[in-house]
Structure 1
Amino acid sequence: MAPDAPWLAEALGQSDAFLGFMEDVGRAAVVDRPALLIGERGTGKELAAARLHYHSPRWEGPYVPVNLAALPRTLIEAELFGHEAGAFTGALKRRPGRFETADGGTLFLDELQAAPVAVQGKLLRAVEYGSIDRVGASQPVAVDVRIVAAVNVDPRELVRRGRLLPDLLDRLAFSVLFAPPLRHRHGDIPYLAERFAARFAAAIGRPEPPTFSDAAQAALAAHPWPGNIRELKTVVERAVLHTTTARIDHITLDPFAHPHAPLPLPHFSHSGGPGGSSPRPPEASSLFSSTPLPPTHFFPSRGSGGDYPPRPPEASSLSSPIPLTWTEAVAAFEIDLLAGALVRAGGNQRKAAALLGLTYHQMRGLYRKYAAALDAASKAP
């Protein structure tokens, strides 16, 4: 892989969702029409765009990726379409834009919604007529470019909010490809984690790639991965760096949780005085229904690793003098949600997963993580 071409990295996965997406990309690649990639951040849209180019008849032409969100809005037009000498202050000579650089190949426009509406109008003209206007020019310039664009939100919502021209969306939507989030790629998390760990271990000179303990694998499986593959790669590489043995036993999902965190801000009541609190409305007693959660809240004890025994009932109040770290508070919140959902589901983990909006695989991972506390909760009077 060339160091200056990170998009040439191999897309990895073996789940049905990932393989189906790759098949869709392969079918779209051979048709010389615009394509639109839709997916959350970190799902590999740029790798898919590169695949669209290198598996297309244009593969010998240039592949030019542009992240529009990384450019100043006032410069996007000149960056894409180029400018003539004297077009604006500082334009000392003619400069070709990204369209001309990509002539005969593919132009990938990531974060399409970052382009001003006026620039989107010029993009529409380029897609429809194959010509662009440099800033400050009086004559159009013909270009032969395939446009692949990407957004990380629903493009129809962007149209409703006036952030995306509906005509441009219509022209780009010849091939609409949905990059699956990591949480829907069942089985790919351990597969990717092992490969990221092996690559990073080799990069830092480790003699052999580390393995993951059952607890570490459960932590990886239970996490929702809002940052998708990019987040997973960072988490795994950090775990490899901080592990001195051949096995990874601990996964740090929140790198900002540490024992020397700043003190929390003081709580103020509605009257403006510190330390006050307002009563919680009755409907807020449960996140799921009017059925209250079990009366005992189970908070993890410090230094217990993956085992979270219950604290005494008097420690369950939020006003308890026993301080909680961020990690403990998050664990307590997750345990309460799991315990409440299991009560409502009559102990059926599959039904509890549905109540929480989790997959059964995620529910099993969380249950294994907090097994001691949940077992204690089920036996509480």
Structure 2
Amino acid sequence: MDNDTHSLPLPSAHTEAMGTSEAFLSFQEHLSRVAAVDRPVLIIGERGTGKELAAVRLHYLSRRWRKPLVTVNCASLSETLLESELFGHEAGAFTGATVRRAGRFEQADGGTLFLDEIAAMPRRMQESILRTVEYGTLQRVGGSRSVHTDVRIVGATNAHLPQLAARGIFLHDLLDRLSFEVLTLPPLRERGEDILLLAQRFASSMAMELELNGTPEFGPDALRTLHRHPWPGNIRELKNTVERAVFRQGLHLAELPVNPFRSPWQPNAVTEFAESAPRTAACDSTARPLPQEAWPEETQPRTVLAEPLPEAIRRLELHSLRQALLRARHNQRQAADLLGLTYHQFRGLYRRHKQAIEQQLPPASTD
């Protein structure tokens, strides 16, 4: 069975969610209460926050735990393949379809169907799923007979589904049907004390894998990195970083190599690509660039490679926050909507840049 469509395993001690922070415990309590209600659920979260793990936990805490838990990655399959994977097909439905094949809805009958990256699902497939959710029946590709199915749908995405619905990319009706409850995973930067807890767990597991005798210890610089780095890749990035540190340094972790590409011999990626890429009108050397004065002040060309990436990201975040707050007249919920963020995501970003923002923004009007 491939990696894109498979039955998920029972959580093990190595994958069980860990944490003691208020944000983490509040999420787990919310998830536990939702698990008992046999309704569709959407799991929203940044990349690397553990959406699939949350779906697994949701299933095994529900009354459907003895039945199958089946997942489909909607972003990894073409529309034609996705339709066949979800609804199955009859023999002769298309070239190569020599036998009847049950789809993921049928395989998950009585259990849970986890639709990962649901925002990437084509519009026509959304309409088909809406019919299946509403009537509890489906038709296999190439078939005419209705097949009854009983599944609980759990969808996951890092996209802003209400905005996609407003733009006509995601069906309003399907969003209404799937959002009986929405679980939003807290990003790692909002989980405070959990960061060190998880880092110690990942370090110990890697040390065991490498057959190192002893417990890994984080030095002062490594601890500072743990708590100061924003972890945009969340738990997945933290795990990779800590395991990389143990692999390189053993049990005494003097520093955390957050950027695996850092090297004094790293090639100029932009130059290498420009020399090897086919020439087009857009990149032809005879094409004239815009005069510098035509660029907005904040986006005027700079020597990009001379500026560290974290600083460039910091300036972009600060500029976006400042503009959104000005347009929203200091209303943070409206500013979050303008940026396509949840309110909690906005608050985390705002706290990170609070001092700089307060120095640059005029005070809010008291009118």
Which TM class, normalised by the smaller chain length? 0.7 to 0.9
Q: 1:304-351, CA deviations, whole angstroms, 9 ceiling, x for partnerless residues? A: xxxxxxxxxxxxxx88xxxx987x8357779999xxxxxxxxxxxxxx
Separation of aligned partners in 2, 1:356 and 1:61: 38
Residues 1:193 and 1:85: Cα distance change in structure 2 (over 3 Å): same
Q: 1:76-125, CA deviations, whole angstroms, 9 ceiling, x for partnerless residues? A: 00000100001111110100011111111111000112221111111112
Alignment RMSD, CA only?
3.5
Residues 1:284 and 1:146: Cα distance change in structure 2 (over 3 Å): same
Residues 1:226 and 1:7: Cα distance change in structure 2 (over 3 Å): farther
| Residue of structure 2 aligned with 1:153, choices 159, 164, 173 | 159
The residue aligned with 1:251 is: 256
| Residue of structure 2 aligned with 1:226, choices 229, 232, 246 | 232
- 1:42 counterpart SS class: coil
Residues 1:46 and 1:336: Cα distance change in structure 2 (over 3 Å): closer
Computing the radius of gyration from Cα coordinates, the structure with the larger value is: 1
Residues 1:85 and 1:198: Cα distance change in structure 2 (over 3 Å): same
Structure 1 unaligned blocks of 5 or more: 288-317, 338-353, 364-381
CA contact (8 A) 1:105 1:145 kept: yes
Residues 1:356 and 1:227: Cα distance change in structure 2 (over 3 Å): closer
Separation of aligned partners in 2, 1:16 and 1:361: 22
Q: 1:220-244, CA deviations, whole angstroms, 9 ceiling, x for partnerless residues? A: 2111111111111111100110003
1:162-173 superposed matches below 5 A: 162-173=168-179
Q: Normalising by the residue count of structure 2, what TM-score does the alignment of the two structures yield?
A: 0.74
Separation of aligned partners in 1, 2:315 and 2:52: 39
The residue aligned with 2:308 is: 329
Q: 1:23-56, CA deviations, whole angstroms, 9 ceiling, x for partnerless residues? A: 1100000001111111111111111111111001
CA contact (8 A) 2:110 2:151 kept: yes
1:6-21 superposed matches below 5 A: 8=12, 9-21=15-27
The residue aligned with 1:34 is: 40
Residues 1:43 and 1:220: Cα distance change in structure 2 (over 3 Å): same
- 2:102 counterpart SS class: coil
Structure 2 unaligned blocks of 5 or more: 1-6, 275-284, 317-345, 356-367
- Is 2:216 the counterpart of 1:210? yes
Q: Report deviation, 1:128.
A: 1.4
Residues 1:32 and 1:265: Cα distance change in structure 2 (over 3 Å): closer
Separation of aligned partners in 2, 1:240 and 1:16: 29
- Is 2:68 the counterpart of 1:89? no
Residues 1:361 and 1:194: Cα distance change in structure 2 (over 3 Å): farther
| Residue of structure 2 aligned with 1:197, choices 193, 203, 223 | 203
Residues 1:175 and 1:218: Cα distance change in structure 2 (over 3 Å): same
| Residue of structure 1 aligned with 2:187, choices 181, 184, 195 | 181
CA contact (8 A) 2:8 2:71 kept: no
Which 4+ stretches in 1 moved above 4 angstroms? 264-267, 276-287, 330-337, 354-358, 360-363
- 2:99 counterpart SS class: coil
One-letter amino acid matched to 1:108? F
Residues 1:58 and 1:11: Cα distance change in structure 2 (over 3 Å): same
What is the identity percentage for the equivalent residue pairs of Structure 1 and Structure 2?
Answer: 49
- Is 2:75 the counterpart of 1:75? no
| Residue of structure 1 aligned with 2:265, choices 250, 260, 268 | 260
Residues 1:116 and 1:334: Cα distance change in structure 2 (over 3 Å): closer
Q: Report deviation, 1:144.
A: 1.1
- 1:127 counterpart SS class: helix
CA contact (8 A) 1:7 1:46 kept: no
Q: Normalising by the residue count of structure 1, what TM-score does the alignment of the two structures yield?
A: 0.71
